[in-house]
Chain A
Amino acid sequence: MKKAILYFTLFFIYISSITAQNHTVSGIIRDSLSRESLISVAIVERSKNIFTFCNEYGFYSISLPKGKNTLDIILLGYRKKTININSQNDTVLNIDLYQIDISLQQIIVKADIPQMNYYNLPMAKISKMPVIGGETDVLKALQLAPGVTSGNEGSASLNVRGGSPDQNLFLLDGVPVYNVNHVFGFFSVFNTDALKRVKLIKGGMPAEYHGHVSSVVDLYMKEGDLGKIRGKFTIGLISSKFILEGPVIKDKSSFIVTARRTYIDALFRPISKAIADNTITGYYFYDVNAKWNYKLSERSHLYLSFYSGKDKGFVKNDKKDNHDPDILKINTKQEIAWGNNTGTLRWMKIFGHKLSMNNTLFYTKYKYNSANEYFVQEKIEDDIVTKQYDLYNGSGIEDLGYKLNVDYFMSKNNKIKFGATVSQKKFFPNFTSEQFFDNSSLKDTIVKDKQISSATATAYEYSLYAQDNLSIGKFNTIFGVNANAFYVNGKLYYFIEPRMNLICNISKNINIQTSYSQVHQYLHLLTNSSLGMPTDLWVPSTENLNPISAEIYDAGCKLKLLKNIYVGLSIYYKTLDNLIKYKQGTDFMDVKTDWQDKVTIGNGRAYGIEFFAQKNNGKIKGQISYTYSRSFRTYEYINNGKEFSYIYDRPHNLNIQTEYQLNKKIMFVANWILMSGQNKTYGYERFVIEDIGELNTSLSYSYISDYNNIRLPIYHRLDLAFNYTNKREKTTRIWYLGIYNIYNRLNPFYMERSSQRNALTGISYAPITPFVSYSVIF
């Protein structure tokens, strides 16, 4: 408690010592066509070396000295706007920016040198990247960031700086999304057409975020065009999607709806019927995003957004027993389904020229279900007898909460942010029930409905934060504190987490940065070692299981080498405590054992060095990034308590991305990825032990020297994509063609025993794969 008081005292002394008197220019920055607010726009007064960025909701406020000032308004993908302003009084200035072809951007200024820990990706760039199946994916694009590795071949999972996928906080319009995978991780749940902006924060965690120890992926949905109805329809090899947006009341209210669905099930239905008569096998996923916004006034907006997505796989069998005419019907059905639902109601209000406030009410739910149903109907004498047995199993997590964020642009050098979050979390780590119906005794009908297990927990999470972004000369400091608490099963955990960033702009072309973050995570994801399964369980910290605790240190520098070339280097070190993992030999499908009895507690450490070089304009653009990183884990009941190399410990990771804009219509994109193979635990040797037990039994065992004893061969592949854009009078048509893994590298998805000694068979599911999609924009 003393520590908490000390932090807060220091923080408020620090803030109160900083004041300045200037005139303020403030307003909202919007897209000129859709009238949607924009994010991360830089507002720069070059001659006086003053700059600021608008917040996540497009609001900016900049303090300028009296007299004439020239403001440059800059955002990647938009034409730079220069505004001369004679600053005498506080002024409201809403600014519209014009979107330009991304290939023509010339927008690098000092203020654009981002923090090394942030990775911003324009959606226009993501939509041109080559991906398997042609389904562009925001998380696969983020995998190319330095310090980020992927999981299995084709997986959209993110492993940031030695962390695990569950340690990333995914926020969709400020709402946590718990399961970000479709098709066992091959696609993410985020439809790129619905998104306006995505930002990955790898370190130097801003104080407003808490609850996940590795990274934050902040995604913002589009708001809908306030001016006219627009849309896009895309048809691809495995899915189709559409987006429709437009005004409800012109310049006052707008909507956007996007939807996507795969048709693997429809394509596979005749094949499954051919393989087994009366059997239908299928798999599909869909997701729907919708958002409505209403302008209460120029300075007050209301937003309502919604997301729903689901994956479902099933095997149905419907038959009649030909050998026994008395069996009238036998039906069996097995299915699994999982998905998220989120909803947000946000009210944004601007007070005066310096303060904007966002109140958000949010709801998020992730649910996984499986069902096994057996039904038989038979004729016994003159009676029809029915027997039915159903077994249901599932897990889930549900949040309902409120969030307040306030941005206060105190002075030209000082921006303060503070807020609070309170949420109720309900956990359903495992529920299993069975139903049994039988009227075969003809006199008495037997009905059983039994709950086998139903472990639930309700928890409350609270967070208060304050952060000050202060510029003094060449130095820019971001100092913040997040105080958060978690109440579960009568146990209260609370932490005061200091967050510090120091940026020194040594010259116009060089800056160096260092940061320190302390973060705690109250949620744990229990996952198996093989696939990213929907059966993974979100479980809370409990009275016996402390929250994950992480400390992250990093430092880096970024410099401008030539006119358009930037290079950067950063290093990091991270410690992780109170991690959990299934004990060795645990069957994660065993629903009868409480999850707390199946886990072991451990810790981890990770470190690395990241390098990147970037060319952001011209006909040829690109980025090269290389990361050397290591990540280790130690658990009491795994690997005999010895430290082992983590599954996502991939020391070398090299990504090269290039884009070539041939002309306004044609663009080529190439990505080459090279990284160390994944770690796996496999035995390919054997030994025999004699004289076991009282029967002196002899048993043969597979030999595994250590957990994650095998590093799979080096992973590499080259992907090419070709974009052809044909603009017509009323529509734009886009052909998106490409080849995934063009030189057919067989990267293993998993390994299994081989027919040869001292060998394993590698199974690859992503050989050379062409893809195509066609979009019409109107």
Chain B
Amino acid sequence: MKKTILILIIISVLSCRKDFYYDFDHIPQVNVSCFLKAGDTVRVRLSYLVGDTLFGTILADKDYISKADVYLYEDNIFQEKLTYKEIPQINFVEKGWYYSQYFIPTEKHHYNLKIHVPDYDTVYAETYIPEAIPIDSIQINGEALKDSIIFDRNLASSVPDGILDFSVNIFFKDKSGTTNYYDFWSNKFFISYDPAIEPRYNREYYENISLAALKIAFFSDEIFDGHTYAINTKFKIDDYKFDYISEFPIKLGLNSLSYDAYAFYKSSYLYLKSLDNPFTEPVIIYSNVKNGTGVFAGISSVEDSFLIVPSQN
């Protein structure tokens, strides 16, 4: 139907189409990119907002900012001026990175960035790293998890493409009194039909390739505020079909997100989902950066894992 409507619109008006350019004022802005993770070194990348074109836009070296003063504050107390770094890759050098030398952020604190770039207004951003919420327990196919799980290797050959699938429930206790935001991740591909998970991302994975870049299943505690909740996921392991694999780990993680991270993920998800679809409403990417663009968002995480062990049969 979309195609029909598009064809009709195009045909009905194509004959009198005239194209012309409009130039818009480009107001130069500093773009900040930083996910502040509890327990990790701080790293911030600074670039400029650049003009977009029909043919796509790849940032050149000059579009990254190398001469900035980046100051980090914890609970309004100055901690460190970040150090500029260029990171060598195979064929090029990544520019525009600023790292902390000593300071490591921790959960349950507020953080501020103050950035001076020559000829630009001072840029400010603020976020919070929420308390990490432990995973209470994990069930696999309805049974409590031990350190490893043994699967009959022959099961894999009984399903199409040798994919082994199993259901995992991750239990955790939400804190009451505040709105909390989470994201669940794993090192292996999973699908979730859990009603709490907003993006429906994993089930749309096959439909929209642009979403594949954003491997995040985020959610808020809207439907389970203050209660113990079990996030349900379905894993689909295709590695299992290979005979040479004897055993392998499945890693699971539950991130606690600041509102900034949640809002950014949500807008990113909507943005990627709507790419190349003229029938969607426009999406504005969330930003909490004053006098600039981008995002500065706090995250804390917990991790668990188990082993998949093939049976010896």
**Which residues of A are in contact with B by a Cβ distance under 8 Å?**
183-184, 264, 268, 272, 281, 283, 313-315, 334-336, 370, 372, 391, 393, 528-531, 533, 535, 582-589, 638-640, 681-695, 697, 699-707, 710, 712-713, 746, 748-749, 751-767, 769
Separation of A713 and B55 alpha carbons in the complex (Å): 24
Contact call B281/A582, Cβ cutoff below 8 A: yes
Contact B213 A699, beta carbon cutoff 8 Å? yes
Tell whether, in the assembled complex, residue B280 and residue A585 are in contact, meaning their CB atoms are under 8 Å apart: yes
15 extra A-B contacts, CB within 8 A, seeds A693-B183, A761-B21: A587-B274, A682-B282, A686-B51, A687-B50, A688-B33, A697-B215, A701-B268, A701-B285, A713-B22, A751-B22, A754-B22, A755-B54, A758-B24, A763-B19, A765-B13
What's the Cα separation between A682 and B279 when bound, in Å? 14
Report Cα–Cα, A752/B34, bound state, in Å: 31
Q: What is the minimal beta-carbon distance from B273 to any residue of chain A, in angstroms? A: 6
8 Å CB contact of B282 from A336, A529, A684, A713: A529
Asked if residues B281 and A281 are in contact (CB atoms below 8 Å), the reply is no
In the assembled complex, B7 has its CB within 8 A of some CB on chain A? yes
A272, closest chain B residue (CB): B11
Does B62 touch A at the CB level, under 8 Å? no
B232 at the A interface (CB under 8 A): no
Check: B235 CB closer than 8 A to any chain A CB. Answer: no
Find A685's partner among B3, B20, B51 (CB 8 Å cutoff). Answer: B51
CA distance A51 to B16 in the complex (A): 53
For the complex of A and B, 6 pairs with smallest distance between CB atoms: A585-B270, A757-B51, A334-B4, A758-B51, A681-B282, A758-B26
Query: Which B residues touch A767, using CB under 8 A?
Result: 16, 18
| B interface list, Cβ under 8 A from A | 1-5, 7-9, 11-13, 16-26, 31, 33-35, 43, 45, 47, 49-55, 57, 59, 183, 185, 187, 213-216, 253, 263-265, 267-274, 277-286, 293-295
For the complex, give the distance between the alpha carbons of A756 and B57 in Å: 11
Q: Is the CB of A759 within 8 A of B23?
A: yes
What A residues does B7 contact at CB under 8 A?
281, 315, 334
What are 5 A-B pairs with beta-carbon distances under 8 A?
A336-B1, A586-B281, A688-B47, A692-B216, A759-B21
Given the complex, which residues of A lie within 8 Å of B23, measured CB to CB?
A: 756, 758-759
| Smallest beta-carbon distance A677→chain B, Å | 10
A601–chain B nearest beta-carbon distance, Å? 15
Is the Cβ of B52 less than 8 Å from the Cβ of A685?
Answer: yes
Contact partners of A690 in chain B: CB under 8 A:
33, 45
Q: Once bound together, how far apart are the Cα atoms of A530 and B2, in whole Å? A: 14
Shortest C-beta distance, A574 to chain B (Å), equals 24
Which single member of B20, B26, B183 contacts A746 (CB below 8 Å)? B20
Residue of A nearest to B97 (CB): A690
**Residues of chain B within 8 A of A682, CB atoms compared:** 282
CA distance A535 to B1 in the complex (A): 11
Q: How far is the CA of A198 from the CA of B5 in the complex (A)?
A: 32
> Are B24 and A640 in contact, CB atoms less than 8 angstroms apart?
no
CA distance in complex: A687, B50 (Å): 7
The listed residue (B24, B43, B185, B274) touching A693 by CB distance below 8 A is: B185
Are B47 and A533 within 8 A (Cβ)?
Answer: no
Cβ contact within 8 Å between B4 and A755: no
The answer to whether A283 and B8 have CB atoms under 8 Å apart is yes
Other-chain contact of B47, A183, A314, A687, A693 (Cβ < 8 Å): A687
Given contacts A690-B45, A697-B215, contact A585 B295 (CB under 8 A): no
A706 with B284: CB separation less than 8 A: yes
A764 and B17 in contact, given A694-B185, A697-B215 (Cβ under 8 angstroms): yes
Contacts of B59 in A (CB 8 A): 688
A530 touches B278 (CB 8 A): yes
Q: A582-B281, A703-B293, A704-B282 are in contact. Are A756 and B19 (CB under 8 A)?
A: no
Check A334/B3 contact, CB under 8 A, given A281-B11, A586-B281, A767-B18: yes
CB pair A700 B57 closer than 8 Å: yes
Q: Does the CB pair B24–A760 fall under 8 Å?
A: yes
Q: Find chain A residues with CB under 8 A from B19 CB.
A: 761-764
CA–CA, A373 and B33, complex, Å? 48
Q: Which A residue's beta carbon lies closest to that of B19? A: A761
Give the chain B neighbours of A315 by CB distance below 8 A.
4, 7-8
Chain A residues with Cβ below 8 Å from B12 are 183-184, 264, 283, 313
Shortest CB–CB separation between residue A687 and chain B, in angstroms? 4
Q: Which residue of A lies closest to B251 (CB)?
A: A694
Inter-chain CA distance A749–B19, complex, in Å, is 10
Q: Among B54, B277, B282, which residue has the most Cβ atoms of chain A within 10 A?
A: B282
A685-B26 in contact (CB<8A)? yes
Q: With A585-B281, A755-B54 known to touch, is A336 a contact of B8 (CB < 8 Å)?
A: yes
Residues of the A chain whose Cβ atoms lie less than 8 Å from the Cβ of B270: 584-585
Cβ contacts under 8 Å, A713 to chain B? 22
Bound-complex Cα distance A687 to B8 (A): 34
- Is the beta-carbon distance between B49 and A686 smaller than 8 angstroms? yes
Docked Cα-Cα span, A691 to B272, in Å, equals 16
Chain B: minimal CB distance from A680 (Å): 9
Partner of A336, one of B4, B13, B35: B4
Are B293 and A370 touching (Cβ within 8 A)?
no
Residues from chain A with Cβ under 8 Å of B55 in the complex: 755
What is the CA–CA distance of A264 and B13 in the complex, to the nearest angstrom? 11
- A686 with B279: in contact, given A699-B213, A701-B268, A748-B22 (CB under 8 Å)? no
- Whole-angstrom CA separation of A587 from B271 in the bound complex: 11
Q: Are B271 and A684 in contact (CB under 8 A)?
A: no
B215 touches A695 (CB 8 A): yes
In the complex, the answer to whether A689 meets B295 with C-beta atoms within 8 Å is yes
Tell me the complex Cα distance, A588–B278, Å. 10
Contact A691 B33 (CB under 8 A): yes
Q: Determine how close the nearest CB of chain B comes to the CB of A741; give it in whole angstroms.
A: 11
Q: B285: nearest residue on chain A (CB-CB)?
A: A701
Q: Are A760 and B22 in contact (CB under 8 A)?
A: yes
Assess the A765–B17 pair: CB atoms within 8 A: yes
| Chain A residue contacts of B280, Cβ below 8 A | 585-588
Residues in A neighbouring B274, C-beta threshold 8 A: 585, 587
The answer to whether B51 and A762 have CB atoms under 8 Å apart is no
Chain A CB within 10 Å — which of B3, B12, B269 has the most? B12
* Shortest distance from the beta carbon of B283 to any chain A beta carbon, whole Å: 5
On chain A, the residues within 8 Å of B285 by CB distance are: 701, 703-704
A701 to B267, CA, bound (A): 11
Chain A min CB distance to B117 (Å): 14
With a CB–CB cut-off of 8 A, which chain B residues contact A281?
7-8, 11
Contact partners of B279 in chain A: CB under 8 A? 528, 587-589
A292 to chain B minimum Cβ distance, whole angstroms, is 36
Known A-B contacts A584-B284, A699-B268, A763-B17; A684 and B51 likewise in contact (beta carbons under 8 Å): yes
Contacts A283-B12, A585-B270, A693-B216: A688 and B31 contacting too (C-beta < 8 A)? yes
Chain B minimum-CB-distance residue to A755: B54
The distance in angstroms between the C-alpha atoms of A22 and B276, with both chains bound, is 73
| Residues of the B chain whose Cβ atoms lie less than 8 Å from the Cβ of A702 | 52, 271
* Minimum C-beta distance from A396 to chain B (A): 16
- Chain B's nearest CB lies how many Å from the CB of A752? 8
For residue B268, give the distance in angstroms from its CB to the closest CB of chain A.
7
Q: Please tell me if the beta carbons of B214 and A692 are within 8 angstroms of each other in the complex.
A: yes
Contact A372 B50 (CB under 8 A): no
B293 touches A754 (CB 8 A): no
Question: How many angstroms between the C-alpha atoms of A457 and B52 in the bound complex?
Answer: 45
Residue in B closest to A311 when the chains form the complex, CB atoms: B8
CA distance A16 to B200 in the complex (A): 64
Contact B5 A533 (CB under 8 A): yes
* Contact in complex: B4, A699 (CB < 8 Å): no
Contact present for B50 and A762 (CB under 8 Å): no
In whole Å, how far is A334's beta carbon from the nearest beta carbon of chain B? Answer: 4
Which of chain B's residues has its CB closest to A392's CB?
Answer: B1
Please name the residue on chain A nearest to B279 by beta carbon: A589
Shortest CB–CB separation between residue B73 and chain A, in angstroms? Answer: 20
Assess the A531–B45 pair: CB atoms within 8 A: no
Alpha-carbon distance between A272 and B5 when the two chains are bound, in angstroms:
16
CA distance A81 to B213 in the complex (A): 79
Contacts A334-B3, A693-B216; is A685 near B281 (CB within 8 Å)?
no
Q: Which residues of A contact B282 (CB under 8 A)?
A: 529, 584, 681-682, 704, 707
**With contacts A315-B4, A700-B57 known, is A640 near B20, CB below 8 A?**
no
